[in-house]
Chains A and B, each alone.
Chain A
Amino acid sequence: QVQLQESGPGLVKPSQTLSLTCTVSGGSISSGGYYLSWIRQHPGEGLEWIGYIYYSGSTNYNPSLKNRVTISVDTSKNQVSLKVNSVTAADTAVYYCASSPAANYWFFDLWGRGSLVTVSS
């Protein structure tokens, strides 16, 4: 049973870099069996896809965030990381890690529980 777990600081100061990690358990990222995405949800609002990565390192990002976001993969640790630069209060959100099966990558069949990140001084 594959599981996803987000982790990282819950509080980030404005203008700094938000860093989160998604750890995959019960499966290997290197298997190439799924795409891993980051999705966020502002308080009381809807879902916003941030970007995805495949085990090979190929990525794509939401154009609205592309200039500030980097997603990377560490297959040795079975982890995917998210970095968002120059954060503001508008980046306060719950950040989810979600997977899409490689054979049917157009939907998210597994989600982590989410990690709340607050941007505040």
Chain B
Amino acid sequence: EIVLTQSPGTLSLSPGERATLSCRASQSVSSSYLAWYQQKPGQAPRLLIYTSSTRATGIPDRFSGSGSGTDFTLTISRLEPEDFAVYYCQHYGSLSWTFGQGTKVEIK
């Protein structure tokens, strides 16, 4: 079973700053099967990025994903007030889906 470890646990930044979130897999995975989600309090998660770098419909281009092998990154180029939330990475393999534990992006 592949384990996804996200870091840092919490990221304290100011609006306008750049956010870099990490997702590390316990073994090499296909970048095709790596996705990122955003979750705000009291809401369901929302798909941001799939196949490690493709933005979902309606996602602003300040969100970008990259990576391969065991190391993947979600970057928010300039934080907007609505971007402060929890972010999860997710992997698919063999008809099973797993999530990282999440990174909270909070206002500094």
Chain A contact residues, CB within 8 Å of chain B: 37, 39, 46-49, 52, 60, 62-63, 96, 98, 104-109, 111-114
Contacts and interface: CB of A to CB of B under 8 A. Distances in A.
Interface of B: 1, 32-33, 35, 37, 43-47, 50-51, 56, 88, 90, 92, 95-102
B88 A46 contact: yes
12 contacts: A39-B97, A47-B99, A49-B96, A49-B97, A52-B97, A60-B95, A105-B92, A109-B47, A109-B56, A111-B44, A111-B46, A113-B44
- Most A CB within 10 A of own CB, among B44, B97, B98: B97
B70 to A, nearest CB: 17
A56 to B, nearest CB: 13
A107 B102 contact: no
A60 B32 contact: no
B99 A106 contact: no
A37 B92 CA distance: 13
A47 B96 CA distance: 13
A48 to B, nearest CB: 7
B50 A46 contact: no
A48 B35 CA distance: 15
Given A47-B45, A47-B88, A62 B50 contact: no
A112 B44 contact: yes
A111 B50 CA distance: 15
